[in-house]
Chains A and B, each alone.
Chain A
Amino acid sequence: RKEVEQDPGPFNVPEGATVAFNCTYSNSASQSFFWYRQDCRKEPKLLMSVYSSGNEDGRFTAQLNRASQYISLLIRDSKLSDSATYLCVVNIAPGNTPLVFGKGTRLSVIA
């Protein structure tokens, strides 16, 4: 099983749609979880941290399911500007270990 696994997509959705991405991780002892966004030929940018209780930031909702070892990102009312690659990020071992990035899920929001 890969350390962090994501559906590569692409997801092609119309403006206004709701889209959800899932990501699975291999180590049940992982403690820190994030979603980053990366635009073409740009650096990754932190979108949101993922907390055990779930968290919401505007149109974006992130959830963590420790029992099944997956995290999710829900985007409501998609905008054209949401088109990007979404990266699932986990610290794959407990403690002070570097973050491991999934390969990303590509989203294209179409007018």
Chain B
Amino acid sequence: NAGVMQNPRHLVRRRGQEARLRCSPMKGHSHVYWYRQLPEEGLKFMVYLQKENIIDESGMPKERFSAEFPKEGPSILRIQQVVRGDSAAYFCASSLQGANTEAFFGQGTRLTVV
């Protein structure tokens, strides 16, 4: 009964490279959310996806960031041309029902841009 699985746990990228963060939701969950947490800050909502659909991307930066949740496979958060300010912990969560229900988090991916 695996929980939400994220990989990699730690990712180091040089400025200008691409970062790909993966998230497999809990078994049976079709709702996925990505949050970003800066050091000593709260979690900021980025995007909400259901299989093959983006439901709410109001928290996503307009440029360089994209997310998908294909029919098969994990959800991917992609950051192109990373900058130092992208360094943060990125958490994925999933829920069984809609976005206003209990969500369960993965262990996060810590992205460091050097």
Contact = CB atoms under 8 A, between A and B. Distances in A.
Given A97-B99, A101-B35, A103-B42, 5 more contacts: A43-B91, A43-B107, A96-B55, A98-B48, A99-B33
Nearest to A101: B43
Indicate the member of A44, A100, A104 with the most B CB atoms within 10 Å: A44
11 contacts: A32-B100, A41-B89, A49-B102, A87-B42, A91-B100, A96-B99, A98-B33, A98-B45, A99-B33, A99-B45, A103-B42
A34 interface: yes
B91 A44 contact: yes
A43 B55 contact: no
Interface of A: 31-32, 34, 41-46, 49, 87, 91, 95-104
Contacts of B1: none
Contacts of B41: 103
Contacts, number: 52
Contact of B105 (A43, A49, A96, A100): A43
User: What 9 pairs between A and B have smallest CB-CB spacing?
Assistant: A103-B42, A91-B100, A43-B105, A32-B100, A96-B98, A101-B43, A98-B99, A98-B48, A98-B45
Given A95-B100, A96-B99, A99-B99, A87 B105 contact: no
Contacts of B44: 101
